[in-house]
Amino acid sequence: MTMTTASPIPTRGIVAAKSPGFGTTLVSEWTKLRSVRSTWILTGLAVVLSIGFSAAIALVMGLTSEPIDTFSEADRVMSDPLTSSMPGLLFSLILLIVLGVTAVSSEYSSGMIRTTFIVNPHRIRVGAAKALIVGLLGVAIHAIAVPGMFLVSQAIYGAYGLETASVTDNQAARFLLVVALVVPLTYTLISLSIAYLLRGTAVAITAAFGFIFLTSNLGPLLPAWIQQHVFRYLPDIANNSLTGFTPPGDVTYLSPLPASIVVVTWIVGSLAAAAVVLSRRDV
């Protein structure tokens, strides 16, 4: 009688199959995001509406304004060629909030989140991969929209004899870089984190819109003490200081380093809160 020895089961391969690496998770999250039609609708609308609206406003300003040499000092302040070239930013920021929220909430509403965590039980890894993909997509959107708004508006201003701005100017370069790189990360990643915390699409969009977007508009209506000690430490208002939109001496102004710390703290803090909830809460 011969005896056979059973060979051990290669459990390492099984564990690897159950736990995809971060690179595989990135590919998976990108596949899910790009396979949803709403992603491309939001991306297209963010670019087209922002550039188109900025061009329309610039054209109206060109048609209704006198040449620059006839402007009063007050007119020059109101028609700053840099900030006035970005009215379409309103649309892209709103759509970035929607993108950040729906990238998460759509999985919860469809039930796909359960399948995702069965395939990849490392929830923090899944959340980090999704945050990276969504943040990079937001930056890509603004990398097209922001230069588009600026260049189209400056071309129209120049054609009508209005003052123009140049990217070689330090202030203009700083403004464009912050709006193209930092602002989309703020809007997409904080919105994504809120979606993980609240799960529901409507409630998460409402909360993100109120917290990130409306604070900078409501600030001037509040007492100066609240603006100085509370509101200037909110992410969107800190971004205004980073871009140079908020002038030094304003009650909400922060110098570049503190403003950068505030923005990074909000982004990292919101993602950390989402990670804690994601790892501890049932799906």
Q: What is the dihedral of CA 176, 182, 185, 187, to 10 degrees?
A: -80
Alpha-carbon distance values, 199 to 96, 150, 179 (Å): 17, 36, 28
Which two three-digit tokens encode residue 14?
């099984």
Query: What pLDDT is stored for residue 76 in this prediction?
Result: 53
Cα distance from N-terminal residue to C-terminal residue, the chain: 54
d(CA 58, CA 20): 50
CA distance linking residue 276 with residue 197, whole number of Å: 10
Kindly report whether the global pTM for this prediction surpasses the value 0.95. no
pLDDT tens string 237-256: 999 999 998 999 899 999 99
Other beta carbons less than 10 A from residue 234's beta carbon: 19
140-190 tens-digit pLDDT: 999 999 999 999 999 999 998 888 999 989 999 999 999 999 999 999 999
Q: How many helices (H) and strands (E) does the chain have?
A: 14, 0
What dihedral angle (degrees, nearest 10) is formed by the CA atoms of 273, 274, 280, 283?
160
The model's pLDDT over 3-37, given as tens digits with 9 standing for 90+, comes to: 444 444 343 444 445 568 899 999 999 999 999 89
